[in-house]
Amino acid sequence: MKITGPIVLPAAAVLATNPLLPRQSNVTDYNSAPPNLTTLGNASLFETWRPRAHFLPAYGSIGDPCMHYTDPSTGLFHVGYLHEGASGATTSDLVTYTDLNPNSEPFIRAGGINDHVAVFDGSVIEKGINGTPTLLYTSVNYLPIQWTIRYTKGSETQSLAVATDGGRNFTKLEHGPVIPSPPFAYNVTGFRDPYVFQNPNFDQMLESSNGTWYTIISGGIHGEGPSLFLYRQYEQDPYFENWEFLGQWWSEEANSTWTEAGWAGRWGFNFEVGNLFALDSNGYNAEGEVFVTLGAEWSYKPIVPQVSDNREMLWAAGSHKFVDGNLQFVPSMAGRLDAGRSAYAAAGKHLPASSQAGQSSGAPDRFISYLWLTGDFYGTLDFPTTQQNWSGSLLLPRELSVGYINVVDNALAWEKGSWRVDSQNDNGILTLATLRQQIAREPLAAFQQNATNSTTQSGGSISSSRTFDRSPRSKHYMMTASISFTTRTNDDLKAGFSILSGPNENTNIYYQFSNESLIIDRSNSSAVSATTSGINTDNESGKFRLFDVPTANGTSIETLNLTIVVDGGVVEVHANDRFAVSTWVWSWYEDSTDVGFFVEGGEVEFGEVKIWEGLVDAWPGRNSTS
Amino acid sequence: MKITGPIVLPAAAVLATNPLLPRQSNVTDYNSAPPNLTTLGNASLFETWRPRAHFLPAYGSIGDPCMHYTDPSTGLFHVGYLHEGASGATTSDLVTYTDLNPNSEPFIRAGGINDHVAVFDGSVIEKGINGTPTLLYTSVNYLPIQWTIRYTKGSETQSLAVATDGGRNFTKLEHGPVIPSPPFAYNVTGFRDPYVFQNPNFDQMLESSNGTWYTIISGGIHGEGPSLFLYRQYEQDPYFENWEFLGQWWSEEANSTWTEAGWAGRWGFNFEVGNLFALDSNGYNAEGEVFVTLGAEWSYKPIVPQVSDNREMLWAAGSHKFVDGNLQFVPSMAGRLDAGRSAYAAAGKHLPASSQAGQSSGAPDRFISYLWLTGDFYGTLDFPTTQQNWSGSLLLPRELSVGYINVVDNALAWEKGSWRVDSQNDNGILTLATLRQQIAREPLAAFQQNATNSTTQSGGSISSSRTFDRSPRSKHYMMTASISFTTRTNDDLKAGFSILSGPNENTNIYYQFSNESLIIDRSNSSAVSATTSGINTDNESGKFRLFDVPTANGTSIETLNLTIVVDGGVVEVHANDRFAVSTWVWSWYEDSTDVGFFVEGGEVEFGEVKIWEGLVDAWPGRNSTS
């Protein structure tokens, strides 16, 4: 998602052009009720909700992650994001990062001939023109752009830039866009975010030379629906100046959905930020199963031009067929990559085993994806951004792979959902396949190894909420826990944890079978919401199924395994390596640090809960005051 | 032709951005040998060679004529030309003109999102968007562009602008180019100068709706040859935002020619300024025979990148065939629209009978074309432009139609040339068809009616050159004459006229059968050439055939009918309504005004010669000092 319409971010706009604001009147009292935060001085809230272990610029707003790549000459992984153009940082371990430029200044800025008004997402061919990392990005010359309005011809084109100075700058090539328009006479809703990839199966199916580069471009067609447009590097032109349109690789009917049951949100009207890659059970494998992550834009009725916009961060996997000579994708399963409504615009990249991170951890070829967590709900919240002097963050990097689960062969497994039946065994057991997603192994390990304080809370059968014996002293920690349910038919039952809680505030994270959802109840999460606009406390909710699984002596409901990361205002909840819901919790009080069991309407069995406090400073090279 | 390469015009570049320079030291003595003109003051030569009856801006350089149209709301004909972008003037009679803006300021300038560096030629849909005159023009974002070098992707695109304020401004539409690139994977040599037209035969052949707009775009393909690309308004979109590529309507092999005999120059490597229209014997007729005027770029060997460039101003007529489903043009005759090497970039337009000019003169629907006469040979001459403070002119408007000639059925008629055999009669007579071109009827009449001094010189058999009894007193006049030849086998014979002659200078215009050419011998035309660089005195030469024609008592050689216009430095020579050669003659001396018979190597019969002196001030509204 880019700021593509008249929806403006007054504060963020200031941030986008100003350097780090001087901290003013930093005497905020977190032990009494908050004032209206907009009365506070510039940057006075800089530390209040700032995450420590997450990826975000030194100051200012972060937009979509994009343009990641491993520099073949250094093995460093470059993580990019929209920020005054696009900026980035390098990492050798996915734990700590080094800004490419001081103050997170961008490696590419808008304002060239092809991109007067904006640089939108792009992706990098690692060994591109003259063997140099080469960026294919959306160059924007006209705004507004939104699927709800008539498309301005030529507003989005795809252009090239090449890395100089180790990627600290990407220099735009002195020629026009290499994809100068959508396909002829396509009345598009959007046409952006080119995602380049190589794929030997595509080469074979499309009779391309080995190693041909492809790109998908995300968008849609007015009156038809969202779409991913497929292009191929033409005749292996070493300058990547010509891309051949190969049809709509994937299109869905407007306002349709994978399933109305809600396993995969809505396809909506326009796709954005599509990534196309292939996975196996170990991670990235170009010969593996084809997956897509994508953002979908839609609206409740009535659709209000330039205003209506709901977003879904989805994934899908599937197979191919040829229709009228065009290669088309047929989804076999689809789901939400993150159920948090502020989590969007995931951008991933193949991280090879040969990268520095891969060599250090011994990880195989991986596909690493970063999601954006917007800090002001896509510019619609009047958040006190000037006081905070930053907005938004990326979520922790995730490793994606194909996950398999053995489940009982029953209706729960056969429903059309965010999984597919991979195989049917003789003994009444099904193997389901789905997208496995886990916090990348390095930060997961680092949070444990570097904990300044780690505690264990024993579990047991619990039927009422209570605070842990020892809670964290800060708002930066990771916890792991498990919950076993004995029945799925108790609609009153809610079980999980309270976090960031105290006498004045609390946030509850729980699962309930009534709608098979994992919920983050933020309704009492922030005292600030009473004094200051832009502090959203709506609940987050994501549909997640616990299957029936075989056990030694029969069957049981699959255990809910949670990994929760609290990092300043960022809360990530991961479940069973296949579900995530992330959000902001803007707790105010210094004593809102309690963690506890949360149970209502029944009894569940909690496993041991572990808490690792402290996390890791992801930006050791920055001149931090925290 | 546009300044598309590193060939720069130091002086013209100054002119392009500076206002009218103050006249300095205007004490030039035209009665003695000229100094090096570059030593003279700014604008001191403003009047020296300035034409009076021709079309040129108030000051500064003129480039390609283009963007002409009749405003449906006024009936005025708008004549456009490249000048600091593009500028224009209106006319109700093709004789006098009124600048659209003071000081010939442009109605469109480069510098927008689509045209950072230049506005190239375009053409106008009279009732375009919202019924307003709508310009489709080449928007340029990158230079250099030349057929001798690798094409810079995206350098030339086609964009829209709409007339405001009666055409005094054309406002660029707030969107990208409507033809944002050459056809996919075409490695073009050029892609510019869109020429819009309607044609009912095209509608029928291409199964388009009645009244569909088409455009040709001129260019070529590296390694293949020059080409005209055909596009069609897509689905009659009232915003003209989509144009459907219908193939290469006309392409020729690189460096080929209609005939090596020289009747139609060379097709070269790249086409420019292509116009497509239909004519009959009366003038414009959309249902008539299809004609093209076009510029062709080529080179002698070796081709030097960014330097080599010769140009031809050609015309062709022909028929259609379908090849692989694409409509293709098949020339049946082709020739030079003007043989002068400085005459180029013709731009014409349908001038309806209902226009003010048409109604006043009673002329039918016409096709009126203006050629450019470059003042510094496409920027390659180091002409003292600062001293002149202007550069280049348009030639007088020409009416184009289909011309027919009855000739003797012999080899002269059957040669492949700038004519075709239209019909073969029983009596040994052939009717040839060709492009008829005449100076537009209104200026032709006005020059006679408004003459301040008119003289008649009787003719007769003449075998040696001699000055007329009475010559003009100025360098602004029109003369008509005829010459009859009795033999075509005398290779020594040259017959014609000397003009702009006197004790120190002379220019000879003559026909010779040795190479069937009409020649302007400029070798002694300018005393300035001895003192100042950039005063080109090379001969001009154009191949022109006098056929054998039937007479009452047998056959004879067709009479050569000449119309010569001398207007300051501009000399136009028109022959037999089907040939023209135009050039600059930079005579210096005040007494170089003599006109005379020019005959060498034999005897010919001259008819009566008429001279109308004075011409007409084409710019009565300008604050002129002449």
In a domain, A380, yes or no: yes
Q: Cβ atoms within 10 A of the Cβ of B624, count?
A: 12
Of A155, A177, A234, the CB nearest to B154: A177
pLDDT confidence of residue B23: 60
Q: How far is B575 from B482, CA to CA, in rounded Å?
A: 9
* CATH number of the domain that residue B597 is part of: 2.60.120.560
Q: Tens digit of pLDDT for each residue in A569-603?
A: 999 999 999 999 999 999 999 999 999 999 999 99
Whether A363 contacts A357, CB under 8 Å: yes
Q: Tens digit of pLDDT for each residue in B507-516?
A: 999 999 999 9
Average pLDDT, chain A: 94
Q: How far is A243 from A277, CA to CA, in rounded Å?
A: 19
Q: How far is A457 from A260, CA to CA, in rounded Å?
A: 39
pLDDT of residue B446 exceeding 80, the answer is yes
Residues of chain A with C-beta less than 8 angstroms from the C-beta of B116: 113
- Is there a single domain that holds both residue A394 and residue A530? no
- Cross-chain residue pair A184–B142, CB shorter than 8 Å: no
Q: How far is B70 from B349, CA to CA, in rounded Å?
A: 9
- Is there a single domain that holds both residue A519 and residue A593? yes
A7-21, A140-154, A494-508, B310-324: range with lowest mean pLDDT: A7-21
B224: containing domain: 64-72+101-358
pLDDT confidence of residue A301: 84
Average pLDDT, chain B: 94
- Is there a single domain that holds both residue A338 and residue A476? no
Q: Tens digit of pLDDT for each residue in B568-578?
A: 999 999 999 99
The last residue of one of the domains, among B358, B384, B413, is B358
pLDDT of residue A22 exceeding 80, the answer is no
Q: How far is CA B568 from the centre of its chain?
A: 18
The last residue of one of the domains, among B358, B374, B390, is B358
- Cross-chain residue pair A245–B181, CB shorter than 8 Å: no
Q: What is the rounded average pLDDT of the residues A256-278?
A: 97
- Cross-chain residue pair B152–A141, CB shorter than 8 Å: no
pLDDT confidence of residue A28: 81
The verdict on whether omega for the bond into residue A364 sits within 30 degrees of 0, i.e. cis, is: no
- Is there a single domain that holds both residue A471 and residue A387? no
A–B: how many Cβ contacts below 8 A? 72
Complex ipTM value: 0.90
Whether B365 contacts B285, CB under 8 Å: yes
- Cross-chain residue pair A184–B242, CB shorter than 8 Å: yes
- Is there a single domain that holds both residue A380 and residue A472? no
- Closest by CA to B142, choosing from B117, B113, B179, B172, is B117
- Closest by CA to B213, choosing from B243, B188, B193, is B243
How sure is the predictor about B545, in pLDDT bands with cuts at 50, 70 and 90?
A: very high
pLDDT of residue B624 exceeding 60, the answer is no
Distances from the Cα of A490 to the Cα of A233, A515, B139, angstroms: 56, 11, 68
- Is there a single domain that holds both residue A397 and residue A460? no
Which residues of B make CB contacts under 8 Å with A? 113-114, 116, 141-142, 152-155, 157, 174-178, 180-181, 184-185, 234-235, 241-242, 244-245
How sure is the predictor about B6, in pLDDT bands with cuts at 50, 70 and 90?
A: very low
- Cross-chain residue pair A155–B174, CB shorter than 8 Å: no
Q: Which residues pair with A221 in a beta bridge?
A: A188, A225
Question: Side chain identity at B598, as an amino acid letter?
Answer: F
Residues of chain B with C-beta less than 8 angstroms from the C-beta of A142: 113, 174-176
Angle at B621 between CA B616 and CA B622, to 5 degrees: 90
In a domain, B308, yes or no: yes
pLDDT confidence of residue A20: 57
Q: What is the rounded average pLDDT of the residues B84-102?
A: 98
In a domain, B213, yes or no: yes
Nearest CA in chain B to A140: B176
Q: Tens digit of pLDDT for each residue in B337-353?
A: 999 999 999 999 999 99
Q: How far is CA B222 from the centre of its chain?
A: 27
Distances from the Cα of B308 to the Cα of A360, B311, B583, angstroms: 59, 10, 21
* CATH number of the domain that residue B319 is part of: 2.115.10.20
Of A142, A185, A241, the CB nearest to B234: A185
- Is there a single domain that holds both residue B354 and residue B471? no
Q: Tens digit of pLDDT for each residue in B47-82?
A: 999 999 999 999 999 999 999 999 999 999 999 999
Q: Output b/e per residue, A7-27; b: 16+ Cβ within 10 A.
A: eebebbebbbeeebbeeeeee
- Is there a single domain that holds both residue A327 and residue A398? yes
Backbone angles phi, psi at A361, to 5 degrees: -90, -15
Domains of chain B: total: 2
- Is there a single domain that holds both residue A338 and residue A224? yes
In a domain, A431, yes or no: no
pLDDT of residue B141 exceeding 50, the answer is yes
Question: Side chain identity at B185, as an amino acid letter?
Answer: A
Contacts of B377 (CB under 8 A, 6+ apart): B341, B342, B536
Q: What is the rounded average pLDDT of the residues B592-620?
A: 98
Nearest CA in chain B to A117: B113
The last residue of one of the domains, among B358, B390, B415, is B358
Q: Give the whole-number percent of chain A exceeding pLDDT 90.
A: 92
Residues of chain A with C-beta less than 8 angstroms from the C-beta of B176: 141-142, 152-155, 157, 181
Whether A510 contacts A522, CB under 8 Å: no
Q: Output b/e per residue, A510-549; b: 16+ Cβ within 10 A.
A: bbbbeebbbbbbbebbbbbbebbebbbbeebbbbbbbbbe
Question: Side chain identity at B215, as an amino acid letter?
Answer: T
Please tell me the total number of residues recorded for chain A in this structure.
Answer: 626
Distance from CA of B104 to the nearest CA of A (A): 29
In a domain, A361, yes or no: yes
Question: Side chain identity at B217, as an amino acid letter?
Answer: I
Distance from CA of B240 to the nearest CA of A (A): 11
In a domain, A512, yes or no: yes
- Cross-chain residue pair A181–B185, CB shorter than 8 Å: no
- Cross-chain residue pair B242–A180, CB shorter than 8 Å: no
Q: Tens digit of pLDDT for each residue in B237-296?
A: 899 999 999 999 999 999 999 999 999 999 999 999 999 999 999 999 999 999 999 999
In a domain, B1, yes or no: no
Of B116, B154, B242, the CB nearest to A175: B154
Contacts of A421 (CB under 8 A, 6+ apart): A413, A414, A430, A431, A432, A433
- Is there a single domain that holds both residue B161 and residue B309? yes
List the end-to-end C-alpha distance of chain B, in Å, as a whole number. Answer: 30
pLDDT of residue A16 exceeding 90, the answer is no
Which 8-state DSSP code applies to residue B179?
B
- Cross-chain residue pair B152–A174, CB shorter than 8 Å: yes
In a domain, A436, yes or no: no
- Is there a single domain that holds both residue B496 and residue B605? yes
Q: Tens digit of pLDDT for each residue in B373-409?
A: 999 999 999 999 999 999 999 999 999 999 999 999 9
Q: How far is A371 from A338, CA to CA, in rounded Å?
A: 8
- Is there a single domain that holds both residue A166 and residue A277? yes
pLDDT confidence of residue B138: 98
- Cross-chain residue pair A157–B180, CB shorter than 8 Å: yes
Of A155, A178, A245, the CB nearest to B176: A155
Which residues of A make CB contacts under 8 Å with B? 113-114, 116, 141-142, 152-155, 157, 174-178, 180-181, 184-185, 234-235, 241-242, 244-245
A16-25, A353-362, A569-578: range with lowest mean pLDDT: A16-25
pLDDT confidence of residue A23: 59
pLDDT confidence of residue A228: 98
DSSP3 helix / strand / coil % (chain B, rounded to 5) = 10, 45, 50
Q: How far is CA A439 from the centre of its chain?
A: 12
Please tell me the total number of residues recorded for chain B in this structure.
Answer: 626
Of A154, A175, A235, the CB nearest to B176: A154
